[in-house]
Amino acid sequence: MAYTERPSGLVPGAVLWRADGPAGTVLPDGCMDLLWVDGRLLVAGPDTRAHPAREVPGSGFAGIRFAPGAAPALLGVPAYELRDRRVELAGLSGLWPAREVRALAGRVASYADPLAGLDALARSRVVAPDPLIAEVVARLRAGETVARIADTLGLGPRQLHRRSMAAFGYGAKTLGRVLRMQHALARVRAGDPYAEVAHSTGYADQAHLAREVRVLAGTTLTGYTAAATGGQAEGVDGADGVDGVGGVDGANRETPQPSGSSTTA
């Protein structure tokens, strides 16, 4: 399956992507997507686990992936209502009437390239990002603890959790785990040894990294590497450090996508 992506030219921090079919596995990345699938507009919510891309059938997929915390204001729906869900845009809590969604789909279809149509549609509805939410994301990417972030931003733990649920679909601690895993997997795809990746991305050790990949990505480190490299687990340190299981099990035999909800609804 061919997959391509590029930065949005109209929406800061967003990414436009295209896939020619629902193959592979979609991994959590903290993002949400507006999707164009065979003429339909759908939304992919924030994930807490790996999802098979074939959950929604279609012959071609295009989408715009929003940075963590950016999509709820545009959609008018708190992120937790869409956690681990893929839904028609017209089904969002009655906020998007079917007639309006049909008109929007027609606007996207009027472009020669649906990616340009999605970009223009998102730009027409985008709202200014919440600077506090953006700060939370930046600090999580930097590896700060949730307690320190709350203290620095002058928020109580419960207040930060409420804000995070609405913006990300889950608490800041979960988002931090997802972002850290994505950072680690990018290093794995680059061929860095597992132990080096674990140390440099904030895991206690290689076994800790392997456990997080198993929980969040639904596969082993060696399984992920083999899928991402076409079966060649290069530049790694042997076994996963958890159960010694190599290869790719069951649903994860197809090449995993490099980020979140980028290929499915």
| Residue whose C-alpha is closest to residue 168's, from 35, 13, 31 | 31
Q: Which of 37-51, 190-204, 216-230 has the lowest mean pLDDT?
A: 216-230
Q: What is the mean pLDDT of residues 78-101?
A: 92
CA 169 to chain centre: 12
Q: What is the mean pLDDT of residues 44-70?
A: 92
Phi-psi region of 165 (alpha: psi -120 to 50; beta: other; left: phi over 0): alpha
Instruction: Round to whole Å and give the CA distance between 138 and 211.
Output: 24
Please determine, for residue 85, whether its predicted confidence score (pLDDT) is greater than 90: yes
Task: Report domain extents, the chain.
Answer: 3-125, 131-172, 190-252
Percentage of residues in the chain having pLDDT higher than 70: 85
Beta strands in the chain (DSSP E): 3-7, 15-19, 25-26, 32-37, 40-44, 51-52, 61-66, 86-88
Q: What is the pLDDT of residue 238?
A: 44
Q: What is the pLDDT of residue 194?
A: 97
Q: What is the pLDDT of residue 255?
A: 32
Q: How sure is the predictor about 25, in pLDDT bands with cuts at 50, 70 and 90?
A: confident
Q: Which of 71-85, 91-105, 197-211 has the lowest mean pLDDT?
A: 91-105
Q: How sure is the predictor about 244, in pLDDT bands with cuts at 50, 70 and 90?
A: very low
The letter for the amino acid at 193 is P
Instruction: Round to whole Å and give the CA distance between 129 and 69.
Output: 8
pLDDT tens column, 163-207: 999 999 999 999 999 999 999 999 999 999 999 999 999 999 999
pLDDT tens column, 129-176: 899 999 999 999 999 999 999 999 999 999 999 999 999 999 999 999
Higher pLDDT, 256 or 96: 96
Q: How sure is the predictor about 1, in pLDDT bands with cuts at 50, 70 and 90?
A: low
Q: What is the pLDDT of residue 69?
A: 97
Beta strands in 113-161 (DSSP E): none
Q: How sure is the predictor about 218, in pLDDT bands with cuts at 50, 70 and 90?
A: very high
Q: What is the pLDDT of residue 23?
A: 61
